[in-house]
Structure 1
């Protein structure tokens, strides 16, 4: 495996993450702008609004299904080549969706667009972790998250505008243009590092995945990631149905409800950047998870007291997103570094497991929501965070003890 020289964090080295985050923003807004428009899209295609969350789950599934190839491929031919090809493919699928005639074709193109998620997670994030030192990499990931969070903040507002004034088609045109611009930035500023692994037959690639998934620490850390992030993913997937269709909020009121929730995530990421050099790595996760659990309890109480449901939902989700902000980047770093296999393969393994869990849970909660309504959402959030206090918490404490014994802060 090739050794990659680490870069310090400065204005020049930040140009690559900025180009990457422009693509990340276009991929994320490809969900956050379109999700509010799904009620209009399902109506246009003549299907039930219960199809609305499937746009997001198929998007995630598309990412999971190609990660096995893109991560190892980037180890062997270089991250930059795979990144540029992935961005180009995403642009083409955004333009192709303009010509869909039914919900099945629409979801197929959403599935193909989901490859953009894997290009970011299995190729882009691996390049970030290789390019920067440990704590600088965590800072870069947190800063990138804050910029990309403009997508869920602006997406609902822009989605509401599309619904009320133009057509959802223009959203995909705008997304394609953003991704096209990012291609030029990545082509210019992404480090052209040598391949991290020798070219091997496909069988050897699967052998590497077997080695990664046989690592119990890797599996434990990776499974803890959806526990952290799924409550917010469920919010993005189901909040249009909950707030607009069930509770009768307007499209603009729905958009405004996103600001405190996503603002909590931004605040958490900003705080992480400030404190990551001042405390043992992992400590912020131990602080963030009780805050997230408190948020789920508030949502449950709001479900019991229906007159307070909307404020309880927003307050609870804000606490959850804040806790995720100070926890996720650190946990992701631990997961990625838990195996010695090439980081493209490890990042792909993370991406596959993560997005498959996302797909399954979102679809299961969507089905449960049709039968038991708001309780499906509230209980799902509570169970996901409560589960984190089992094996993931023990595993994190073990890692922190090992680092302390090695003299690593």
Structure 2
């Protein structure tokens, strides 16, 4: 049975209490920027290895699959031996996977190391986020997660521009050298600041035990609805990140620098949404904030349908995605907290289940968008994005009415 630690959740935010979240978000920043900085370099990567440009989004897909591959083990493992040692190992593993890609000699080797780098996401979702939720009370945890999201969002905001700048003076391998250095700094921060919050479950880590624990989580309909809503909510944005190099550089003919600059409206919208959430979460019920976020999300996705009639209007698409991103920012951190606590299982196990579900949804969504875009271009992108947004709203409607009363306090 779990034997809970004596760690007391933090009720007020100070600079000292934020040092651990800052170290964790720096690691999250490193994992994200490894993807965002290489995006403007992907045409050069496929040219160097003689691969087809249609494989460019696959680099992001395999990264997300890596992010789903080990969460099933890492969450329960951190419940038993502690969040801290597992998280520290994750930072070390990611750093060396960034160094290893320097020796890739063909595109499939490149994808292999991108998969290994994606495993770094496993440690964030199954271990790091669980530690944050256990370190802070509910509303403080949502505020911290929203603020962390804003720092992490600097990666897709500046990543393409930074990657383009690196490519002006060096080849794409230097991008991963820079990421490895950032990851090493985050490792030092985690080493000095990460507390131990795990329940220290003494149940032996056996496959049958894990199967039973995950079975209990996935049989919880509220958890499944929340996980589906969270995953589908983000598919349009992740699809944009994956396909933006093709939409803006290959088809619209923008330079790598212009491509990076035109990412700013989208991620600025996401930052605005997170700021609104962090500001209002202590004054407005969480459910209300999630519902309010639905309006800009659907309005932006509906506005994007103009491309069904004018598919080459990429500027309108950028503006529409920026509006939808405001809603995504208002929803995600709050919905994550409610979904994580929809199950009574150990939070490492629940966080791992939620992370795996989301990563699978992300990977399938991106591959669907990639395939459809190759057939029908921008029309398919905006239409599938709207369908995902509507499906996310339906899943949230099924999830929210049964929420625990404490979550609205």
Larger mean CA deviation between 277-286 and 17-26 belongs to 277-286
Equivalence for 1:218 = 223
After the TM superposition, which residues 178-217 of structure 1 pair with which residues of structure 2 at under 5 Å, given as runs?
A: 178-193=182-197, 195-202=199-206, 203-217=208-222
TM-score (norm 1): 0.96
1:288 maps to 2:300: no
1:30 maps to 2:46: no
After the TM superposition, which residues 134-173 of structure 1 pair with which residues of structure 2 at under 5 Å, given as runs?
A: 134-173=138-177
Q: Alpha-carbon deviations, 1:41-60, whole Å to 9, x = none?
A: 11111111111000101000
Is 1:126–1:344's contact at 8 Å kept on the other side of the alignment?
yes
1:264 maps to 2:269: yes
Provide the secondary structure at the position in 1 that maps to 2:197.
coil
Mapped to 1, the partners of 2:103 and 2:407 lie a distance apart of 58
Is 2:311–2:378's contact at 8 Å kept on the other side of the alignment?
no
After the TM superposition, which residues 210-359 of structure 1 pair with which residues of structure 2 at under 5 Å, given as runs?
A: 210-306=215-311, 309-359=313-363
Is 1:61–1:359's contact at 8 Å kept on the other side of the alignment?
yes
Is 2:225–2:398's contact at 8 Å kept on the other side of the alignment?
no
C-alpha displacement at 1:370, in angstroms? Answer: 1.1
C-alpha displacement at 1:373, in angstroms? Answer: 1.2
How many residues were matched structurally? 404
C-alpha displacement at 1:201, in angstroms? Answer: 3.4
Mapped to 1, the partners of 2:141 and 2:329 lie a distance apart of 15
Q: 1:110 aligns with which of 93, 107, 114?
A: 114
Is 1:35–1:55's contact at 8 Å kept on the other side of the alignment?
no
Mapped to 2, the partners of 1:117 and 1:407 lie a distance apart of 27
Equivalence for 1:130 = 134
1:6 maps to 2:18: no
Is 2:64–2:359's contact at 8 Å kept on the other side of the alignment?
yes
Is 2:228–2:392's contact at 8 Å kept on the other side of the alignment?
no
Provide the secondary structure at the position in 2 that maps to 1:327.
helix
Equivalence for 1:97 = 101
C-alpha displacement at 1:192, in angstroms? Answer: 2.6
Mapped to 1, the partners of 2:136 and 2:17 lie a distance apart of 9
Provide the secondary structure at the position in 1 that maps to 2:51.
coil
Q: 1:408 to 1:150 in 2, by over 3 A?
A: closer
Is 1:91–1:179's contact at 8 Å kept on the other side of the alignment?
yes
Mapped to 2, the partners of 1:407 and 1:137 lie a distance apart of 12
Is 1:143–1:269's contact at 8 Å kept on the other side of the alignment?
yes
C-alpha displacement at 1:306, in angstroms? Answer: 4.1
Mapped to 1, the partners of 2:244 and 2:392 lie a distance apart of 24
Mapped to 1, the partners of 2:210 and 2:384 lie a distance apart of 36
Is 1:37–1:162's contact at 8 Å kept on the other side of the alignment?
no
1:67 maps to 2:71: yes
Q: Alpha-carbon deviations, 1:197-225, whole Å to 9, x = none?
A: 11413121221111111111111100101
Q: Alpha-carbon deviations, 1:112-132, whole Å to 9, x = none?
A: 111111111110000000000
Equivalence for 1:39 = 43
Structure 1: 5+ residue stretches without partners: none
Mapped to 1, the partners of 2:167 and 2:187 lie a distance apart of 29
C-alpha displacement at 1:352, in angstroms? Answer: 0.5
Q: 1:256 to 1:303 in 2, by over 3 A?
A: farther
Mapped to 2, the partners of 1:285 and 1:253 lie a distance apart of 33
**How large is the Cα RMSD of the aligned pairs?**
1.4
Mapped to 1, the partners of 2:362 and 2:43 lie a distance apart of 21
C-alpha displacement at 1:398, in angstroms? Answer: 3.4
Mapped to 1, the partners of 2:341 and 2:198 lie a distance apart of 20
Mapped to 2, the partners of 1:74 and 1:233 lie a distance apart of 28
C-alpha displacement at 1:302, in angstroms? Answer: 3.0
1:382 maps to 2:397: no
